[in-house]
Structure 1
């Protein structure tokens, strides 16, 4: 039986050190780490490797449920996949969840639902803040990557979309989007 850790942060500016230390202190012999969004399983190579690596009798450990998944659907899929391999699952900061018992599965689902709810609230608060900043003229969004006026000027001079894309170093689809606005 091996204890296998999985640590994740959402952005490159965040540190994995705290999670790594907690997982090693819990006895993990191997820790898979990545800096990726947890909104879905897509592109999370280290998670895929961890799920492939664990064997019958191992235990997959995370520090918190939201490090593994941000939606109850993803959480259930991951835990079901682990369970099918006869692998245990623990979340250190949510107590000892034993997914082999009915109580453990119930608790996992409830905590997963709360984690998803919390993420939804966070997104709503962020959206409210952005809307307020836009209303006050503070938030303008990211700068356009396509020089729309330059695209329009070149097109009005009779330059073909393919040539505009080539001259400006942008994709032809970007030229068409700029012309459509």
Structure 2
């Protein structure tokens, strides 16, 4: 007899999984509280590296059903989602996604849906990269300086304290900045001396 499990994931501790649980109940699925796995972990972490998801896999058996509200609960990108669904399908577990009308992602229609979504995601990613590169090229052609602005005030402050024979740690403490920031500005002494001339 198949059992129904629910996997709920949020990225930060300021978010809550209750909405996902309510959404599944509203869709007519009856999931026992003991079969609801809730996890707070970044979506950038692959499903196989998530402790809660691993706990879920340990409990599920062939013919069980896994419900998620959205595909991004399962993985960080289309490839990760596809691999996760394929792994679950290989063990006989069906996967239903509410955002896709409750379609079983392990069925023929679900596989086709996954392929279409993967192609769209790849197309969007390629377009984004193309637009970003075009924008950077245009900005360079217009003579715009890219990246963070130079922190001249920080360099000046570090160099003044360095000239008073303070150590890097003392300078960091005095300016209330990190030691890595001090080190970045520490050897800009020649530029500082020239700017003061």
Structure 2 distance, partners of 1:35, 1:149, is 43
Checking the alignment, whether the CA contact within 8 Å between 1:66 and 1:115 is kept in structure 2 is no
Match of 1:177 in 2: 184
135, 155, 158: which one aligns with 2:162: 155
Match of 2:43 in 1: 38
With over 3 angstroms needed to count, the CA separation of the structure-2 counterparts of 1:81 and 1:15, relative to structure 1, is: same
Match of 1:137 in 2: none
Match of 1:6 in 2: 7
Structure 2 distance, partners of 1:53, 1:115, is 31
Structure 2 distance, partners of 1:51, 1:101, is 20
TM-score (normalised: structure 1):
0.64
Structure 1 distance, partners of 2:159, 2:63, is 63
Checking the alignment, whether the CA contact within 8 Å between 1:23 and 1:31 is kept in structure 2 is no
Structure 2 distance, partners of 1:22, 1:51, is 22
Is there any run of 5+ residues in structure 2 with no aligned partner, and where?
A: 136-147, 189-197
Deviation at 1:45, TM superposition (A): 3.1
Structure 1 distance, partners of 2:55, 2:175, is 40
RMSD: 3.8
User: Where does 1:91-170 land on structure 2 (aligned, <5 Å)?
Assistant: 91-114=97-120, 151-161=158-168, 164=171
**What is the DSSP-based 3-state SS (H/G/I as helix, E as strand, rest coil) of the residue aligned with 1:49?**
helix
Aligned residues: 162
Greater gyration radius: 2
Is there any run of 5+ residues in structure 1 with no aligned partner, and where?
A: 129-140
Structure 2 distance, partners of 1:45, 1:179, is 43
Structure 2 distance, partners of 1:47, 1:117, is 29
Deviation at 1:94, TM superposition (A): 0.8
CA displacement, residues 141-173 of structure 1 (integer Å, 9 cap, x when unaligned): 9xx9xx766544443333343565677787654
TM-score (normalised: structure 2):
0.60
CA displacement, residues 122-156 of structure 1 (integer Å, 9 cap, x when unaligned): 9x9xxx9xxxxxxxxxxxx9xx9xx7665444433
57, 63, 66: which one aligns with 1:57: 63
